[in-house]
Structure 1
Amino acid sequence: MSGDLDFTSADVPTAAPSVASLQQAEASLVTTLPEGGVGFENMKNHILKDIAVGFAGASRSPNFYADTTGNLTDAALFADWLVSTTDQNVQVHLPRETVATTLEATALRSLRLLQQLLSVNETTFPGRIFTTGAAASNLLGIAMGREFVVAEAGRRNSPPSHTSVAELGLLEACLQAGVQSIQIITTRPHSSLYKAVSAAGIGRDSVLLVPLSEDEPWKFDMNVLTQHLSREEAKTIIVVSAAEAVSGRFMSQAEMARIRSLADKYGAWVHVDGAVGLQALILPHTKEYAALNDGVSGFHLADSIAGDAHELLNVPHDCGFFFTRHLELQQIVFRNPGAAYLSTATLSIPSPLNLGLENSRRFRALPVYASLLACGRIWYCTLLERRIALARRIASYIINSTVYQLLPNNDLDTIYTVVLFRARSDSSNMKLISLLDPLNSKQIHISGLLWKGQAAARIAVSSSYVEVDRDFDIIVNALESASITV
C-alpha cells in the first residue's frame, strides 16, 4: 500500500511547489489553440515537464497539512486509471452489457463495503449513491429534507393533504401544506451547506446557527432548538456537522438521541454532514478514543448522512457518498422519467437514475472497491490511529510551548486529526503562516484561519504516508524555526 512507503527525512516530497516552479508552470501555459495540434508525445512532455512542476504535493507528501485532501492508495490509483480507460456508464443498470453497476449496487457493492467499514447498518440505510463529493451529498440531503418536511406538514394537516415538492414545486407544495418557510438549524456548518440550501431554493438566510456557546460551537442549544422547532409556520431541517474536525468535538450520543426525539415530535429531518468526522466510526472502542467514539456513535439516528471518500479512503478527490434511511423518498425526489433508451433492464436493484443528481456519472465505485479490497478494515483503522497519534503529539508539544497556544483548549482526549493553534503574541498571528515556512522550502504546508476573530493556524493530518516520529520532528523543526521570529 502507498501508505507503507518509507521516506527518509531527506527524500520526503515537498508539500507545495516553489515560487519558481509556479512561475515556470504558469509561463508555459499555451493560450492559443494550435490549428493542427502538437501531437501526443509533445503534449505529454509539456504537461509532465512544464505544468506538473506547479502542482500541489498533497498526493505525494506526508507533510501537506493545509487541507484534509489525503492522497491516493496504489489500489485507488490503479482502479481510477481503469475507470478512465474503460469509461463505463454507471447511471443505467444494464447487467447484460456491463458489470459496473452490479459492482456498485449489488451484493459486493462498494457502498455496502463502505457501510461495513463504518459500521453503518446496510438495512437501516438502504438508500445510497456515490456523488462528486460531500457538497453534492449535502445537496441530496437538503433536497430530501425539503421534500420530507413539506410532505409531513401536509400529512399533519386536518384533513391531510398530499404536498410533494417533487411533484408540485416548492411554492405550490408549501402553500397547500400551510408552510411559510423552511429553516435550516445547525451549529458550526461547513461552507458547502450554504451552497446546498441556495441550490435547493431554500436560501442562505434560512440557515440559523444555534450553538450552545462560543466555547462549545459544535453543540446545539437545545432550548433554542426547541423554540425554533415549535414554530408552526416554519418547517425544519436539522444539520449536524462533523465536516470540520475542530479537534474531535462532535455531537454526543445523548445529544443525538435528543435531537432525534425532537425531530420526530415536530416533523423535522436530521442530516449529518460527516465528511471528516465519519472516519471516527472505524476506531476501536477504547479509553484512548472514548470522546471520539461518543461523538460519532449517534450518527445512525440521522435520516441522511453525507461523506467524502477522498478524506476517508484516500481515493481520487472527486468522490463522495450519501446514505439515507428513506430509499422510497430518495426515488421520489430524484426520479428520472426518461426516454425508453434510459430504461433499466431489471428491477433487481434501485435504478441509479433515480437516486442522485447526475445522469452522466463517473464510475467512482471502482477505486473505492479496489482500496477497500486491497487495504481492508485493519489498514484503515491503523492509518487513522497513526494520524491521531501525530495530531495529539503535535498538540502536546504546543500545550507545553511558551510561544504557541492550543485551540480551543488543552483537552488532548478530544484531539482528532486537526490541530488548531496560534502564537501567544497577538502581533505575530497575522504573519504566523508565512513564518512557519521562512525559507519558502515548502517542506510542510499548513493553512490559516480565523478562530473567534483572531488569526490562527491549522494542521490537518490526512495523508496515508504519515509516519509519526519522522513527521513530528519535521513539524517541530518548522515551529521552532518560526518561533525565533515570533
Structure 2
Amino acid sequence: MDSETFLSTSYARIRAVASVPPGTSARTLPSPSTLSQARSTLPTTAALLSGRGPEATLSHLTSDIAPALAGHNRSGRYYGFVTGSTLPVAEAADNLVSALDNSLQVHLPGQSVATEVEDAALRLLLEVLGLGLGLGSGDENGRWEGRTFTTGATASNVLGLACGREAVVAARLPPGSTNDGGVGELGLLGACAAAGVKEIQVLTSMGHSSLSKAASVVGLGRRAVKELRYSEVEPWRLDLDAVERELQREGVASIIAVSAGEVNTGRFATTGSGDMRRLRDLADKYKAWIHVDGAFGIFARSLPATSEFARLREFTAGLELADSITVDGHKLLNVPYDTGIFFTRTSTIPQAVFQNPNAVYLSTPTPSSGPTIPSPLNIGLENSRRFRALPVYAVLLSEGAAGIADMLARMVRLARGIAGAIARDEKLKHDYELLAASSTGDEKDNDDGNENTHIVVLFRARDEGLNEKLVEKIQASGEWYVSGTKWEGRPACRIAVSSWRVKVDEDLAFVKDRLAGIAKEWKEGGK
C-alpha cells in the first residue's frame, strides 16, 4: 500500500474508533480489563528491533491502544480536572496541522502565512475575551503587543513570571544602567544586585500549583509564592490590604498573581473592576507586575452579556488592567492539547527574556508588506513550535463570538443546575453538601451556588463513610468522571463542566439520578 492510500484509509479507521454512535454515550474511562489487555500488547525491548510496518502498527493502535485511553473527548460527562473536549472543526484543523507539519519559529512572510494566521488567531481571541484587538491603536487597555501560543497554562505562567521578574527588576535599576540589560542579560543575581533588590515575591490567593512551579523555573523559588487570602471562609479572594503592605517592603520587588478562577472552587480572586483598579494603582505606585492566571476563568468575560451571567462577568471585570494574562485553549475553548496562550502589554519585555542572540539564520527578513510580527522563537520558550494556532483559528472562525458564548453558557447552566440540585433538591440536599457557595461573604451572596457558580461545583457527602468513597463510586461505573480533592481538610468531590458536548437538561437529570442512587445504595448497606 502506498503512503497516500495508507493515510486516506487510516483517517477513516481512526474516526471509526473515535466516533460515538448517535443515541449512545461513550465511557469516560476504559474498564480494568481493557487496560490490562492493552498493557499485555505493549512490546518487549526485543520486539522493537524488528519493524511491524504501518498497517500492522495502525491496527495495534486502533484495536489495542485507543480503547484503553480516557474518553474525555468522546463524552460530555468527563468532569475531571478542567478538561475540554475537541470541537469537530478543531480536530479537522489539527489533522491539517499534522499533515502539513509547519514549525512556527521564525516569521517568514515570503514563505508561509502560518505566523500571520497565528497572529490573527491571537487578535481574534483578544476580541472574544473582551480585551481589545491588540493592535496598539492608542487604547492603552487594548494594547497586547506581546502575544503568543504556549503548550498550556503552566508554560504561560512561566512566561508571566519571567516577564514580571524582568520588569520589576528593570524598574529599579539606576538611571543609565538599563543599557547593560536586566535579568535576561545579567542574570538574576547580577541584575538584582545592580537594582538593589534582595527578594522577589509572588503575591497570590490559592494560586494554582503551576504558579509555584513557574516560580521555581524562573529562579524565584517556590517559597517566593506568598498566600494572601482574604479569609478562611473565602480563601480564593485576594486580600488587597495585605497586598499593599507587602508592596511597601524595602528592597523587595513584587509580582501580583491574580487567580481567575481558583481550580478547586472556580471562584475569582477579585470581585470586580474596583479590585483590579486598586491593584493597578498599587502596582504602578510600587513598581509591581500584575499577572492574571485566567486559564479557564477568563472565559467568563465571553459569556452572553445578559443578567443571567452578570455576576460572573462582574468578577472578571478589570482583568484587562493586568500586565500579563494566561489563557488555556484546551480547556473551555475546546481545542486539542496542548494549547495555551500568553498575552502581555508590550513585546519588548518578552523579547528581552526570550531573544535568541547571535543566530543570523533565525533572523526575520524586513517585510515589504503585511503586518510586522515578531518571530515566535524570540517571545516564548520554544524555538521549534507546532502550528497549534490553527485549531484555535478554526474554532474562532467557525463558532464566532456568539457560538462560543452559547457553548460557554451551556457549561455554566449545567454547573449551576448541579449546584442548585445539591443545595435544594429534596432527593439530594439531605445526603450532600454544597461547598464554597459564597464569593464575596455578603449575605446576599449565599445563593446556593447559582449566580456565583461558573463551571466548577465543589461538594461532599454528608455521611463521612460515603464521603471517603464518593469519588471512587462515581468513577466505578465508567459513565462519568469527577476529580477528588480536599476542602477544609476533608475529602471533597469536584465537578468541572468544560465540554462542548454538554446537554444541559439530559446531563443534569443524569447527575441527579446517579447521585441519588449512590446515596440510596449506601444507606441500604451497599458499602
TM-score (norm 2): 0.87
Tell me the residue number matched to 2:519: 483
Q: Which runs of 5+ in 2 are unaligned?
A: 1-14, 137-142, 438-447
Secondary structure of the residue aligned to 2:161 is helix
1:418-433 to 2 correspondence within 5 Å? 418-433=456-471
Tell me the residue number matched to 2:58: 44
Secondary structure of the residue aligned to 1:66 is coil
Secondary structure of the residue aligned to 2:477 is coil
Q: How far does the alpha carbon of each residue in 1:317-347 deviate from its partner, in whole angstroms, 9 at most, with x for none?
A: 1010001112111211111114222111235
- Which residue among 485, 491, 502 is the counterpart of 1:449? 485
Asked if 1 retains the 8 angstrom alpha-carbon contact of 2:165 and 2:255, the reply is yes
1:287: how far off?
Answer: 2.2
Tell me the residue number matched to 1:378: 402
1:27: how far off?
Answer: 1.6
Query: Are 1:406 and 2:430 counterparts?
Result: no
Asked if 1 retains the 8 angstrom alpha-carbon contact of 2:20 and 2:26, the reply is no
Q: Distance in 2 between matches of 1:7 and 1:395?
A: 30
- Which residue among 239, 258, 263 is the counterpart of 1:221? 239
Tell me the residue number matched to 2:222: 204
1:17-416 to 2 correspondence within 5 Å? 17-32=30-45, 33-105=47-119, 109-121=120-132, 122=134, 123=136, 124-155=143-174, 164-245=182-263, 246-251=265-270, 252-346=272-366, 348-400=372-424, 401-409=429-437, 410-416=448-454
Asked if 2 retains the 8 angstrom alpha-carbon contact of 1:154 and 1:163, the reply is no
Asked if 1 retains the 8 angstrom alpha-carbon contact of 2:147 and 2:344, the reply is yes
Q: How far does the alpha carbon of each residue in 1:144-173 deviate from its partner, in whole angstroms, 9 at most, with x for none?
A: 000011111115x79989661111110011
Q: Which runs of 5+ in 1 are unaligned?
A: none
1:67: how far off?
Answer: 2.1
Q: Distance in 1 between matches of 2:343 and 2:253?
A: 22
- Residue identity opposite 1:197 in structure 2: A
Secondary structure of the residue aligned to 2:330 is helix
Higher mean C-alpha deviation, range 464-473 or range 115-124: 115-124
Secondary structure of the residue aligned to 1:232 is coil
- The structure whose RCO (Cα within 8 Å, separation 6+) is larger is 1
Asked if 2 retains the 8 angstrom alpha-carbon contact of 1:163 and 1:177, the reply is no
Query: Are 1:468 and 2:504 counterparts?
Result: yes
Q: Distance in 2 between matches of 1:120 and 1:7?
A: 39
1:7: how far off?
Answer: 7.5
- Residue identity opposite 2:166 in structure 1: E
Q: How far does the alpha carbon of each residue in 1:288-324 deviate from its partner, in whole angstroms, 9 at most, with x for none?
A: 2122111111110000001101113211110100011
Q: How far does the alpha carbon of each residue in 1:73-98 deviate from its partner, in whole angstroms, 9 at most, with x for none?
A: 11111111111111112101112221
1:371: how far off?
Answer: 1.2
- Residue identity opposite 1:461 in structure 2: V
Q: Distance in 2 between matches of 1:144 and 1:31?
A: 45
Q: Distance in 2 between matches of 1:159 and 1:132?
A: 35
1:34: how far off?
Answer: 2.7
Q: Distance in 1 between matches of 2:373 and 2:48?
A: 47
Instruction: Pick closer, same or farther for the CA change 1:161–1:221 going to 2, 3 Å.
Output: farther
Asked if 2 retains the 8 angstrom alpha-carbon contact of 1:150 and 1:163, the reply is no
TM-score (norm 1): 0.94
1:363: how far off?
Answer: 0.5
1:481: how far off?
Answer: 1.4
Instruction: Output the aligned Cα RMSD.
Output: 1.9
Secondary structure of the residue aligned to 1:20 is helix
Higher mean C-alpha deviation, range 236-245 or range 377-386: 236-245
Q: Distance in 1 between matches of 2:318 and 2:182?
A: 29
Asked if 2 retains the 8 angstrom alpha-carbon contact of 1:133 and 1:320, the reply is yes
Q: Distance in 2 between matches of 1:179 and 1:49?
A: 59
Asked if 2 retains the 8 angstrom alpha-carbon contact of 1:244 and 1:276, the reply is no
Secondary structure of the residue aligned to 2:172 is helix
Secondary structure of the residue aligned to 2:34 is helix
Q: Distance in 2 between matches of 1:339 and 1:299?
A: 37
Asked if 2 retains the 8 angstrom alpha-carbon contact of 1:93 and 1:346, the reply is no
Instruction: Pick closer, same or farther for the CA change 1:102–1:160 going to 2, 3 Å.
Output: closer
Secondary structure of the residue aligned to 2:249 is coil
- Residue identity opposite 2:509 in structure 1: D
Secondary structure of the residue aligned to 1:306 is strand
Asked if 2 retains the 8 angstrom alpha-carbon contact of 1:149 and 1:268, the reply is yes
1:243: how far off?
Answer: 4.3
1:102: how far off?
Answer: 2.0
1:223: how far off?
Answer: 2.1
Q: Distance in 2 between matches of 1:60 and 1:352?
A: 33
Asked if 2 retains the 8 angstrom alpha-carbon contact of 1:190 and 1:243, the reply is no
Q: Distance in 2 between matches of 1:142 and 1:22?
A: 40
Asked if 1 retains the 8 angstrom alpha-carbon contact of 2:261 and 2:269, the reply is no
Asked if 2 retains the 8 angstrom alpha-carbon contact of 1:390 and 1:472, the reply is yes
Secondary structure of the residue aligned to 2:511 is helix
Secondary structure of the residue aligned to 1:311 is coil
Asked if 2 retains the 8 angstrom alpha-carbon contact of 1:142 and 1:200, the reply is yes
1:35: how far off?
Answer: 2.5
Secondary structure of the residue aligned to 2:148 is strand
Q: Distance in 1 between matches of 2:358 and 2:397?
A: 35
Q: Distance in 2 between matches of 1:402 and 1:75?
A: 43
1:104: how far off?
Answer: 1.5
Q: Distance in 2 between matches of 1:6 and 1:14?
A: 10
1:99: how far off?
Answer: 1.5
- Residue identity opposite 2:519 in structure 1: S
1:393: how far off?
Answer: 0.7
- Residue identity opposite 2:395 in structure 1: S
Instruction: Pick closer, same or farther for the CA change 1:161–1:266 going to 2, 3 Å.
Output: farther
Asked if 1 retains the 8 angstrom alpha-carbon contact of 2:423 and 2:434, the reply is yes
1:6: how far off?
Answer: 9.8
- Residue identity opposite 2:328 in structure 1: D
Asked if 1 retains the 8 angstrom alpha-carbon contact of 2:20 and 2:74, the reply is no
Instruction: Pick closer, same or farther for the CA change 1:173–1:24 going to 2, 3 Å.
Output: same
